[in-house]
Homo-oligomer: A and B are copies of this chain.
Amino acid sequence: MAADSSWVRIVTAQTPTNIAVIKYWGKRDETLILPVNDSISITLDPSHLCTTTTVAVSPSFDQDRMWLNGKEISLSGGRYQNCLREIRARACEVEDKEKGIKIAKKDWEKLHVHAASYNNFPTAAGLASSAAGFACLVFALAKLMNAKESNSELSAIARQGSGSACRSLFGGFVKWVMGKAENGSDSLAVQLVDDKHWDDLVIIIAVVSSRQKETSSTSGMRESVETSLLLHHRAKEIVPKRIMQMEEAIKDRNFESFSQLTCADSNQFHAVCLDTCPPIFYMNDTSHRIISLVEKWNRAEGTPQVAYTFDAGPNAVLIARNRKAATQLLKKLLFYFPPNSDADLDSFVLGDKSLIKDAGIETMKDVEALQPPPEINNTQTFRGDVSYFICTRPGRGPVLLSDESQALLSPENGLPK
């Protein structure tokens, strides 16, 4: 270590969130976070949904510390400790002559780290912030500590922070292989295809207003494993076939098959939640209405235009086969779920704003003038039942941000800026 203890080494990374299209629900090992089945996800464009994490190391730090969205949080939990321990065990020598930094492999045991993490979307919105968060923390620490592991190897560490985090180590379509090893070493993510492979897809997320306190996915899946008589049948008999079919559909860009599998698997995951004792309800009436809207439209068109999938909450993630379908979908959604009168359009449709422009909607008046979709007789609308929409697409995996102005910790003292 350099004699001068005033240096601070910082690294900033940005990691996407992801949405499973074949769901992860149930652990076979609670501590190592090993799942009962494989899962497959789409990585979402980090321009619209991502976590940025800066990690720092300095001889002047006297303990590991972390800040999440500006507020200091405890690192004492097992999940953080597991990630920190595993990355430290893989740390290598670092030399930065310019800054006068030299860290030997063995020094890492004594050095403390700081981490600051920020989501560019509301944490409370139930958009898998912990997946992007743990993936980003592990990725950034690996770069800070010059760990030589591949992203797949890092994914097995991120997995120990939050299961679905392992799938955020890659862009495009990602498979979390459940693995067989008792120590979890082969339970990791692999990229199926990158984000350029199927770039017709457009994704609209409906963030649904909810008055209910939701069951956390950690306790929910534990209760499902313990009480659902359907979960094990799903994991053993149904998912393995679906994984093969889904890989085929993705490889062939077969939207019909992709859509059928995505919707069926989302519904089956929620069926298992309902089969849990006591039952878990993540979807609400608004979620059900969005499903009905999509199902009716897909049937009216003859070929599926949109797939839907719901995680452990009421928000709908809608995957349109192309931009034209996405534009039509957005208009239908805005007709049924217009904003409360005090909302402005700019904060009601977030993300890729070009989609709403393509839909010919520029003002709230345009929203109010939308006509009922022809495929549905019922023209009742549900004002305020969707809080906002986010328009996005499949995106890339983690990246380092070399521009120090984007760092969340000060390069001088390693504290939040």
Q: Which of B230, B284, B291 contacts A279 (CB 8 A)?
A: B291
A415 lies within 8 A of chain B by Cβ? no
Taking the closest CB of chain B, its distance from the CB of A118, in whole angstroms, is: 31
* B267 & A275 in contact (Cβ 8 Å cutoff): yes
Complex contacts, A299 vs chain B, CB 8 Å: 278
Complex contacts, A213 vs chain B, CB 8 Å: 378
Within 8 A of B (CB), among A201-236: 211-213, 229-230, 233-234
A361 lies within 8 A of chain B by Cβ? no
* A267 & B274 in contact (Cβ 8 Å cutoff): yes
A192–B211 alpha-carbon span in the complex (Å): 43
Q: Which of B233, B271, B285 contacts A274 (CB 8 A)?
A: B271
Q: Which of A233, A272, A380 has the largest number of chain B CB atoms within 10 A? A: A233
Complex contacts, A230 vs chain B, CB 8 Å: 230, 233-234, 238, 268, 271
Interface size on A, residues (CB 8 A): 32
Taking the closest CB of chain B, its distance from the CB of A67, in whole angstroms, is: 30
A229–B212 alpha-carbon span in the complex (Å): 30
Taking the closest CB of chain B, its distance from the CB of A24, in whole angstroms, is: 17
Q: Which of B237, B272, B295 contacts A271 (CB 8 A)?
A: B272
A274–B271 alpha-carbon span in the complex (Å): 6
Complex contacts, A268 vs chain B, CB 8 Å: 229-230, 274-275
A238–B264 alpha-carbon span in the complex (Å): 22
Complex contacts, A274 vs chain B, CB 8 Å: 267-268, 270-271, 274
Taking the closest CB of chain B, its distance from the CB of A296, in whole angstroms, is: 9
A233–B235 alpha-carbon span in the complex (Å): 13
- A229-B238, A230-B233, A380-B211 given as contacts; is B264 within 8 A of A271 (CB)? no
Complex contacts, A237 vs chain B, CB 8 Å: 229, 233
Q: Which of A211, A267, A271, A378 has the largest number of chain B CB atoms within 10 A? A: A271
A211–B378 alpha-carbon span in the complex (Å): 10
Within 8 A of B (CB), among A238-287: 238, 260, 263-264, 267-268, 270-272, 274-279, 281, 284-285
A288 lies within 8 A of chain B by Cβ? yes
Complex contacts, A270 vs chain B, CB 8 Å: 274
Within 8 A of B (CB), among A361-399: 378, 380
Complex contacts, A278 vs chain B, CB 8 Å: 263, 291, 295, 299
Taking the closest CB of chain B, its distance from the CB of A87, in whole angstroms, is: 40
* B285 & A264 in contact (Cβ 8 Å cutoff): no
Complex contacts, A260 vs chain B, CB 8 Å: 277
Taking the closest CB of chain B, its distance from the CB of A150, in whole angstroms, is: 35
With A230-B238, A267-B275, A268-B274 given, name 16 new contacts (CB 8 A).
A211-B380, A213-B378, A229-B234, A229-B268, A233-B233, A233-B237, A263-B277, A267-B274, A271-B272, A271-B274, A271-B275, A274-B274, A278-B295, A278-B299, A281-B291, A285-B285
Give A contacts to B, CB under 8 Å: 211-213, 229-230, 233-234, 237-238, 260, 263-264, 267-268, 270-272, 274-279, 281, 284-285, 288, 291, 295, 299, 378, 380
